[in-house]
Amino acid sequence: MDTLSEAYKGIPLNLGDIIPLDFSSPPPTLPDSHAWFQPSDDDCSFDDPASSMPIIDFLDPKATELIGLACEKWGAFQLKNHGIPLDVIQGTEEEVKRLFSLPTEQKLKALRSPGGASGYGRARISPFFPKSMWHEGFTIIGSSARDVKKIWPDDYARFCDRMENYEKEMKVLAERLTEMLFDMLKIPEEKRKWVVTSDISEVLQLNFFPSCPEPDRAMGLAPHTDTSILTIVQSPSTGLQLFKEGKGWINVHPHPNSLIVHLGDLLHIISNGRFCSPLHRVTLNETRKRYSIAYFYTPPVDYVLSPSLSGDNSPVALFRDVTVKEYHEIRAQKFGNSLSLVRI
Ligand SMILES: C=C1C[C@]23C[C@@]1(O)CC[C@H]2[C@@]12CCC[C@@](C)(C(=O)O1)[C@H]2[C@@H]3C(=O)O
Ligand SMILES: O=C(O)CCC(=O)C(=O)O
Ligand SMILES: [Fe+2]
């Protein structure tokens, strides 16, 4: 199943917006194409323990209540005791490192096509920014076999099995969280049948952020919200920042053995703005490489997102009805403006 790709077919990218910089022989100084800030720029970020995203224990009897509060206030939280076996997490991490440490010409064999959605390349949002990100990505939609066979024709099975297994585990967790949030939003039965079908549009995004000669002037992943119901991110290292109105960019310090959960724009619409999709970005480090694995949980592409007006949600619809496919198309064309384009 590759139906998400259909949303992108009509809006092809230029090869220049897909091919990453060759990070296997990076320039000793930051090229102008990747310089987002001047040395004198004051791009403030915060390390304030009083305003950091909550860490929630999934085994806590109050977990549901705490998750609800975190989603209203932050649109994000860290989750410990999430139930994903450590060997599954470590095995996936190992494959991600193996993939990104390949020579560039190997990775380019699986380059995303201009009208395609899966494979190796820059972040999809790249064309919306005047500068390039210090980042390589690999997007998996459905099976990774077609792309990975181009890289490792005789040795692709272990990578594919581990990714598939990881996605299975993530799906179970995403379903539990979504059911929990849909209960809070009082989403009726007929609007949530998709949660237990196999027909969802899940995406696994593998991210690599090489060490950078001038990290304060460059950008790992530019500020964005996610196109998902929720995104579950695994990364043991710092670098992720969340934007909080009135405060600025707040550093996220990953708690050991925890996963980070962000809400996406699709849930922002369904919750009629009660749960927010946080703006986030990724910063860099001069000596340390960073990897992350993001699982995007999304309804089938023909699902109609309509704001829920019951419970504590605003009784007046703030967004028009829109299908998942249409929202992806709006994002691919307009990016940052997308939520306001479906606002009534
Ligand atoms: C489901 C998806 C979310 C994503 C676009 C995509 O179709 C597949 C890639 C995803 C990703 C990963 C890196 C950051 C991001 C903003 C991007 O450029 O590609 C997200 C997209 C998104 O959330 O819109
Ligand atoms: O690397 C991270 O921590 C976040 C990645 C991310 O935001 C994404 O893939 O959408
Ligand atoms: Fe993201």
Which protein residues are within 6 Å of ligand 1, measured from CB?
A: 4, 117, 123-125, 137, 139, 203, 205, 221, 224, 226-227, 296, 298, 331
In a domain, 327, yes or no: no
Helices (H), 109-241: 145-151, 157-185
Would residue 333 be called left, alpha or beta, if left means φ above 0 and alpha means ψ between -120 and 50 degrees? alpha
- Please report the ipTM that was assigned to this predicted complex: 0.99
The amino acid present at 220, given as its one-letter code, is G
Number of domains in the chain: 1
**Contact in structure between 159 and 92 (CB atoms under 8 Å):** no
In a domain, 318, yes or no: no
> Could you tell me the residue range of the domain that residue 68 belongs to?
3-299
Instruction: Return the pLDDT at 1.
Output: 45
In a domain, 232, yes or no: yes
Distances (CA, A) of 257 to 9, 237, 280: 38, 11, 21
Q: Report the separation in Å between the CA atom of 153 and the middle of ligand 3, taken as the mean of its atom positions.
A: 31
* Ligand in nearest proximity to the CA of 327: 1
pLDDT grade for 27, boundaries at 50, 70 and 90: confident
Q: Which of 206, 207, 259, 262 has most ligand 2 atoms within 8 Å of its beta carbon, as the pocket-test mutant?
A: 207
pTM summary value: 0.97
> Is residue 124 among the annotated active site residues?
no
pLDDT in tens, 297-320: 999 999 999 999 987 777 899 999
Instruction: Return the pLDDT at 201.
Output: 86
Distances (CA, A) of 104 to 107, 120, 181: 5, 10, 42
Annotated catalytic residue, options 122, 124, 290, 331: 290
Instruction: Report which ligand 1 atom has the smallest distance to the Cα of 141.
Output: 8
Instruction: Please give the backbone phi and psi of residue 138, each rounded to the nearest 5 degrees, phi first.
Output: -140, 120
Distances (CA, A) of 110 to 50, 96, 163, 203, 254: 44, 14, 16, 17, 31
Helices (H), 234-299: 265-270
pLDDT in tens, 95-112: 999 999 999 999 999 999
In a domain, 16, yes or no: yes
- Determine the Cα–Cα distance for residues 332 and 127; give it in Å rounded to an integer: 10
In a domain, 218, yes or no: yes
| E strand residue ranges, the chain | 45-46, 55-57, 76-80, 119-121, 136-141, 203-209, 221-224, 230-234, 240-244, 248-251, 259-263, 280-282, 290-297, 304-305, 322-323
Q: Which of 253, 254, 252, 279 is nearest to 264 (CA)?
A: 279
Instruction: Report which ligand 1 atom has the smallest distance to the Cα of 4.
Output: 7
In a domain, 8, yes or no: yes
pLDDT grade for 40, boundaries at 50, 70 and 90: confident
In a domain, 111, yes or no: yes
Mean pLDDT across the stretch 248-268? Answer: 96
CATH code at 117? 2.60.120.330
pLDDT in tens, 118-136: 999 999 999 999 999 999 9
In a domain, 215, yes or no: yes
